[in-house]
Amino acid sequence: KNLESNDIQSQSIFLDPRFKKYGFSSDDKFETCKSQLSRKLQQLNIDIPNNEENPENQNTSLVQSSSSIWKKFDDQVSSVVGQNNSFVASVVELDKYLSENLLNRQLDPLKWWSSRKQIYPRLYEIVKRRLCVPATSVPSERVFSKAGLVLNSKRTRLTTSKVEKIIFIQSNM
């Protein structure tokens, strides 16, 4: 439940294809996370090739207007259409992702995303930031530095069970 209160962690749960909405304790927390991600997707400026030609763009070459009033109007309309397209595309991408079956818990979610980055290009951009491995081992270094064992040869001889016990004791002191 503490994971759900942190935006980054809740988004990581949502974007993990092994969990999606089933990783949340309530529908409210899931919906909150979904709306946060939807807003993030809309803010992304990604050039995504569109296979369908936009019919409005085909007609623009037919009607040339020299009036500055029409130019301002056309600029306003195109900006609204662009915003609507971004919103619709992000909603469709989210819904399509959620409609896919859950990934088996033992499989690698990063490989799953790598194989689907063309299908979910906007989500993939967020996934790269959320499902990443931390670059440091600060918590474990902190535990060992408390004991003065950061660069000690004895540290390499510790068994897994001993390390677990040391970490448990140090983190609970």
Q: In terms of domains, do 85 and 110 share one? A: yes
What is the domain extent for residue 35?
2-49+67-130
C-alpha distances (whole Å) from 160 to each of 5, 45, 156, 167 are 32, 46, 10, 11
Q: 3-class SS at 104?
A: coil
* 150 and 121 share one domain: no
Instruction: Compute the distance between CA of residue 21 and CA of residue 27 in angstroms, rounded to an integer.
Output: 8
Q: Is the pTM of this model over 0.85?
A: no
Residue type, 3: L
Tens place of pLDDT per residue across the chain (173 aa)? 577 888 889 999 999 999 999 999 999 999 999 999 998 988 876 655 554 434 444 444 444 545 677 777 666 666 655 555 677 788 888 999 999 999 999 999 999 999 999 999 999 999 998 888 666 666 666 666 655 554 456 666 777 787 778 777 766 66
The verdict on residue 59 lying in a domain is no
Together in a domain, 125 and 143: no
Answer whether residue 57 is part of any domain. no
Classify residue 131 by burial, with Cβ atoms within 10 Å: 0-12, 13-18, 19+.
middle
Sign of dihedral through CA atoms 118, 123, 129, 132? negative
Same domain, 42 and 126: yes
Residue 56 lies in a domain: no
Helix ranges (DSSP H) in 44-67: 55-60
Report how many domains make up the chain: 2
